[in-house]
Amino acid sequence: MQELNLPKTELKIATKDGKQQVFDILRRKYVALTPEEWVRQHFVHYLIAQKNYPAECIGNEVSITLNGTRKRCDSVVYGQQAEPLMIVEYKAPNVDISQQVFEQISRYNFKLKVGWLIVSNGLQHYCCQIDYGSGSYRFVEDIPAYDDIKGV
């Protein structure tokens, strides 16, 4: 798999029926090792190890219903009271981060109403803070630490 713009991490990789799988520490099971999953696993490890996000406050493949259709958020970060704080959308490294990707994550946010949105293809990461009071948003340079997103 491709080297990413994230800290290196040791992932548990196995082969089953001739296909590579990676252990997802949040779902506690092996899942298909796709380029997007490669990004997800590195990003989740980065959030936990570098930004002090509690593993128990992150969910992968979180189902939501939007306009009668089931959708899945790649990752959702929750607060201590199980309130959603952040949505993270992953793309494979060869997928450009486009307006369409931001529209996708914004649709998910109609349901969850989080204060933070992140989009990453493992090479580029975009983080946006939403201010519902003023109806505005701003992009931030660095991914915030867990303690910095709880009070928003």
Residues 47 and 53: their CA atoms lie apart, in Å, by: 6
Q: Among 2.40.40.20, 3.10.180.10, 3.90.1570.30, 3.40.1260.20, what is the CATH number of 13-150?
A: 3.90.1570.30
Parse the chain into domains and list their residue ranges.
Answer: 13-150
pLDDT value at 3 more than 80? yes
pLDDT value at 152 more than 60? no
Residues 138 and 133: their CA atoms lie apart, in Å, by: 13
- The rounded percent of the chain whose pLDDT value lies above 70 is 99
pLDDT of residue 19: 94
Cβ count within 10 A of residue 91: 22
Q: How far is CA 41 from CA 57, 65, 107, 109, 134, in A?
A: 15, 24, 23, 22, 34
